[in-house]
Chains A and B, each alone.
Chain A
Amino acid sequence: MEANQAVQTNAVSVKTKTKASFYQIVWRWHFYAGLFAAPFLIVLAISGGVYLFKPQIESMLYKDLYYVEQASDAQEATALAPSALIHFVQQMHPDGQINSIMFYDDRTRTVEIGMTENDIASSVFINPYSGEVLGSLVSGERFTDIFVKMHSELIIGGTVANYLVELAACWTVILLLTGLYMWWPRNRASIWGTVLPRFRQKGKVFWRDMHAVPAFWLSLFILILVLTGLPWSAVTGKQISSLATSTNTGYPPYALGHGAKPESTLKTKDVAKGGPWATENLPVPVSMASSYVPLTINEAVTIAEGAKVEKPYRVMMPKSEKGVYTVTTSHTVPGGEATLHLDQYSGAILSDVRYADYGLMGKAITVGIALHEGRLFGLANQLLGLITCLGVIGIVISSFVMWRKRKPQAKLGSPTPSKDKNRTRVVFVLMLVMGILMPLVGISIIVVFVLDRFVLSRIQPVKAWLHGA
């Protein structure tokens, strides 16, 4: 009986000790992860928060280019032939090569013609009823393009920046998991300090609640934003797409307009020069008595409409004699996606892939991207995204305040390491498991570990500053 009691007491104290040391270890991970991820999270939240409202912002900024002047006329008027629109643009830009033409589902929208002139890609906007060219925008220089670049490559651009964004995003997952662990009510379940902040408290408790409570509420949304953003990433994104391909659950062949394309069937020797792919719009005389002639853009559009492709869609011109007309839709809400490749000589539909043809993962990624960009369910989706972005900024600020309050003058102010070697190892192994799932995290853990173990630890002042002990 007595022995039993002793065991019980012992068990309780071990349990408490376990909690404390695990908390200590997890806190340290959370601290270093946060220190790294915080600046990126701020940049991602600000740029993402702006980019969410791209449709509204651009409609306002580029109103004169995007919309025809007499909106009422647009209801009555009949659009000119696509070839006529291209002809007008070509007249204004004789050296420009027309690459694509985009039709919107809004009758008051202008038609957007993609063009390359002197190696500069731009969009020319033309009133489809009058043929008046309203102006052009250089690709990648629209207002929201800056925010996309900030969001995906931190403006500096390149692979390194792209990797850094991915690394920060993956570490955010770890921040969420470790944060939720620390948020979990330890002593007694109370709504104060868990689901509601203790406003009356001051100092550390107040700021802790200002950090942990909103973070708890937003954790699911932040996780969703990170996960739906990963298909874009260089390392994890590639893994996701190879997983989708290997399980045959991704996109069918030729599903994406910018990917591989089938070829038009004709041998080039049978073809008249001067197709839509040629730099000159004007056919060159041919010596052959009879030769195949590429279909016009008008015929390509008629075929696309006949195949029940709904606006908004873009038709890309064949790029060579063996090229195809490629039709891609750009619906805001997933479901209406279509990518068609048309033989430029016969008009045969060489490939027609719709949303319904996508595999399970292809569909999931498509919906995920729409959700990430705030397109899935209109304004509510945009607002949810915005709240999450603002929340992330707030969470970073409150964490910064907490850190400054705790931080000693001469040290980094990191939580003291646990003396429990075993539990430290358990958490380390768990982190390595995460590192396998998110390779960049794994690599960064190993790099930091090696650096810390073999370099930084040997420099006493650095060690003292960094580790706080």
Chain B
Amino acid sequence: MIKKVAVSIMLAFVLISSAACTASTDTQKKQHVSSQLYAEIITPESIALKQDTVLQVRLTDHNEPVTKADLVQFEIWDAKKGQGQEGSQMIPAQHDKDGLYTVTTTFDQNGVYFVQTHVSVGEQHVMPKKQLIVGEVSAEELKAVQEEMLKHEQGAFEGHGGHHH
């Protein structure tokens, strides 16, 4: 009797432990989200002042062109002014062909600009941004602008300023 109990306790332990080995090898029910949406911002080699400038973004999903994006917008702001409601210009882009979306804009001042594309395709969103240099900008100017930009960036969250009270 006791021997049986002892043996069965140990056997039970062995069985429970090995049950895991033979447990169902179901493949994962659901493939977890993994975005393959890619947005390539295409900007001219050099940008001249006060002239129509074409900015483009090429959208691909799993290397296939995306022709029916739900939202494609270009946000452009002067680095000195910072991103935000006052400083940013938001331009919806038009689909040309083969996943290429275009806007036309003009830059009125020399300086460092940022262009960020806001793209939605179904559940996927991407928002890459590029830094643009318009006209002639000296290295010191560039550095000053970038320091300034850092400050703006810090205040931009939830529309509230970011310094000690």
Q: Decide if B28 touches A348 in the complex (CB within 8 Å).
A: no
Residues of chain B in range 19-43 having any CB-CB distance to chain A below 8 Å: 20-21, 23-28, 30, 32-35, 37-39, 41, 43
| Listed stretches B65-73, B93-101, B103-111, B150-158; interface member | B150-158
Q: Decide if B164 touches A291 in the complex (CB within 8 Å).
A: no
Q: Decide if A248 touches B128 in the complex (CB within 8 Å).
A: no
Q: How large is the interface on B (under 10, 10 to 19, 20 to 34, 35 or more residues)?
A: 35 or more
Q: Decide if B34 touches A350 in the complex (CB within 8 Å).
A: yes
Task: Say whether, besides A87-B154, A243-B20, A296-B153, A291 and B32 are in contact (CB < 8 Å).
Answer: no
Q: In whole angstroms, what is the CA distance A351 to B32 when docked? A: 7
A306, CB-defined interface residue at 8 Å: yes
Residues of chain A in range 301-342 having any CB-CB distance to chain B below 8 Å: 301, 303, 306
Contact of A360 among B23, B114, B131 (CB under 8 A): B23
Q: Decide if A82 touches B30 in the complex (CB within 8 Å).
A: no
Chain B proximity mask over A195-232: 1 for CB below 8 Å, otherwise 0: 00000000000000000000000000000000000000
Q: Decide if B125 touches A306 in the complex (CB within 8 Å).
A: yes
Q: Decide if A130 touches B164 in the complex (CB within 8 Å).
A: yes
Q: Decide if B27 touches A80 in the complex (CB within 8 Å).
A: no
Contact of B129 among A247, A249, A295, A437 (CB under 8 A): A295
Do most interface residues of chain B lie in helix, strand or loop, or is the interface mixed?
mixed
Find the residue from B2, B39, B124, B132 having the highest chain A CB count within 10 A. Answer: B2
B62, CB-defined interface residue at 8 Å: no
Collect the chain B residues with CB atoms within 8 Å of residue A389's CB.
Answer: none
A19, CB-defined interface residue at 8 Å: yes
Q: A1 CB to closest chain B CB, in angstroms? A: 26
A6, CB-defined interface residue at 8 Å: no
Collect the chain B residues with CB atoms within 8 Å of residue A243's CB.
Answer: 20-21
A181, CB-defined interface residue at 8 Å: yes
Collect the chain B residues with CB atoms within 8 Å of residue A397's CB.
Answer: none
Residues of chain A in range 283-310 having any CB-CB distance to chain B below 8 Å: 283, 285-286, 289-293, 295-296, 298-299, 301, 303, 306
Q: B29 CB to closest chain A CB, in angstroms? A: 8
Q: Decide if A80 touches B45 in the complex (CB within 8 Å).
A: no
Q: In whole angstroms, what is the CA distance A213 to B130 when docked? A: 71
| Total interface residues in chain A, CB < 8 Å | 67
Contact of A352 among B24, B33, B47, B162 (CB under 8 A): B33
By Cβ-Cβ distance, the 5 closest A-B pairs, closest first, are A81-B157, A84-B162, A352-B33, A84-B154, A346-B126
Give A residues with C-beta under 8 Å from B: 18-19, 22-23, 26, 78-84, 87, 130-132, 173, 177, 180-181, 184, 186, 243, 247-249, 252, 265, 272, 274, 281-283, 285-286, 289-293, 295-296, 298-299, 301, 303, 306, 343, 345-354, 356-357, 359-361, 430, 433-434, 437
Give B residues with C-beta under 8 Å from A: 2-3, 5-7, 9-10, 13-14, 17, 20-21, 23-28, 30, 32-35, 37-39, 41, 43, 45-47, 114, 124-133, 139, 142-143, 146-147, 149-150, 153-158, 160, 162-165
Supplied contacts A181-B5, A293-B114, 10 more A-B pairs, CB within 8 Å: A81-B154, A248-B26, A249-B24, A283-B146, A286-B131, A289-B43, A289-B46, A298-B157, A351-B34, A361-B23
| A/B interface sample: 25 pairs, CB < 8 A | A22-B3, A78-B160, A80-B162, A81-B153, A81-B156, A81-B160, A84-B162, A84-B163, A248-B26, A249-B23, A265-B38, A274-B146, A282-B150, A285-B143, A289-B43, A290-B41, A290-B43, A295-B127, A295-B129, A301-B157, A352-B33, A354-B32, A360-B23, A430-B7, A434-B13
